[in-house]
Amino acid sequence: MLSPVAVDSKLPWVGTTIFTVMSKLAADCGAINLSQGFPDFQAEPALFDAVHRAMLSGRNQYAPMAGMPELRQGIADKVAALYGTRYDVDAEITVTAGATQAIYTAIAAFVRPGDEVIVFEPVYDSYVPAIETVGGRAVYSRLTFPDYRPDWNHVKSLIGPRTRMIIVNTPNNPSCSLFAAEDMAVLAELTRDTDIVVLGDEVYEHICYEGAHQSLCRHPELAARSLVVSSFGKTYHITGWKIGYVVGPQPLMTEFRKVHQFNVFTVNTPGQLGIAEYLQDASRHLGLVDFYRQKRDFFREQLQGSRFELLPCRGTYFQLARYGAISDKPDREFAEWMTRAVGVAVIPVSAFYHDGHDDRVVRFCFAKKEETLAAAGERLRRV
């Protein structure tokens, strides 16, 4: 249908996200989908039972805007136990409709037209559209290749009077790298005596294979200027539930909630209550790193003897690989060829660079059953 309305797009350069594109192509081709980051296995029945009990007991109406008190208390206890910072249950924790909503809301709450937001490339694909939707401008600092470390001298050169926010993603998607304690110390130094808000995307906080996760919550000086986002979808294998949370000091959370109450208001009540009950057993999130370490190592074993060059995987449930020994195609063409001809769908990492920078690297997701990974490995070893 033709519309009489002339559309002046706020995001003229944005198309369909690469995750949707590759998952659809995988479905169309009958390929094994190692592209989009979601498990192909179920969560524990105990979680479903907890949600069902909440539904049957009549807990099906609106939750408080900030989230169910039971869940916020569980989040406060978990964060304090892991990182030593105790957030106020009433004023400093908000349950969100997934991490993407939390990130968008944080950006909308603090970034004004003309403000600059420093992001690290390769950058997760939701950040920049959110920044530009509210009139901000993304400023890019490229992580070094192939170890994907931040260049703090470059970051320092980018900070200016318009810098309103710095977004930190650790463990990092897609690079599978981690910020170290030294990185957090430098970040604290660079933002000291400024009004810069730090936004932490820590949805893979429990999947850190090398040492303790360096959460912004762990560092008092940074915690005082940070909103930190996490995801129950990633932690409990329920990405479709879209339930996450954000923690931060009261002055920042007050502004966050001003936007949150009008773009979401509140989140699924029985889902929150079920997670609150399930969260009480800390082994369920503390055991996640060993669970995924086994999957990572199994998948890497499947690629032994292949022509893919595996890069280090220090966190997340993704694995990057160079394919230069196989093809000189640009990574988007290679990913499409892999899906159609090999029957394994992957993500081209150039999709995470604003200028399409291409290191001939693709991303695999190994949050899959062993039989799925074994079947993919058999195909990949033949390439």
Report pLDDT for 79.
98
Domains in the chain, CATH or no CATH each: 18-43+286-380 (3.90.1150.10), 45-283 (3.40.640.10)
**pLDDT at residue 101, as a whole number:** 98
HSE, side-chain direction, 13 A CA sphere, residue 375: 12
What is the dihedral sign for C-alpha 242, 288, 227, 278? positive
> What pLDDT, on a 0 to 100 scale, did the predictor assign at position 1?
76
Q: Residue 101's Cα: distance from chain center in Å? A: 11
CA angle 297, 303, 309 (to 5 degrees): 100
Token readout for 261 is 């109450």
Burial-class residue 47 by CB neighbours within 10 Å (0-12, 13-18, 19+): buried
Please state the φ and ψ torsions of residue 12, each to the nearest 5 degrees.
-65, -20
> What is the CA angle 99-104-108, rounded to 5?
150
pTM of the model: 0.96
pLDDT of the residue at 14: 84
Collapsing DSSP to helix, strand or coil, 331 comes out as helix
pLDDT per position in the chain (383 positions), as tens? 778 888 899 998 888 889 899 999 999 999 999 998 999 999 999 999 999 999 999 999 999 999 999 999 999 999 999 999 999 999 999 999 999 999 999 999 999 999 999 999 999 999 999 999 999 999 999 999 999 999 999 999 999 999 999 999 999 999 999 999 999 999 999 999 999 999 999 999 999 999 899 999 999 999 999 999 999 999 999 999 999 999 999 999 999 999 999 999 999 999 999 999 999 999 999 999 999 999 999 999 999 999 999 999 999 999 999 999 999 999 999 999 999 999 999 999 999 999 999 999 999 999 999 999 999 999 999 99
CA gap 383, 381 in Å, rounded: 6
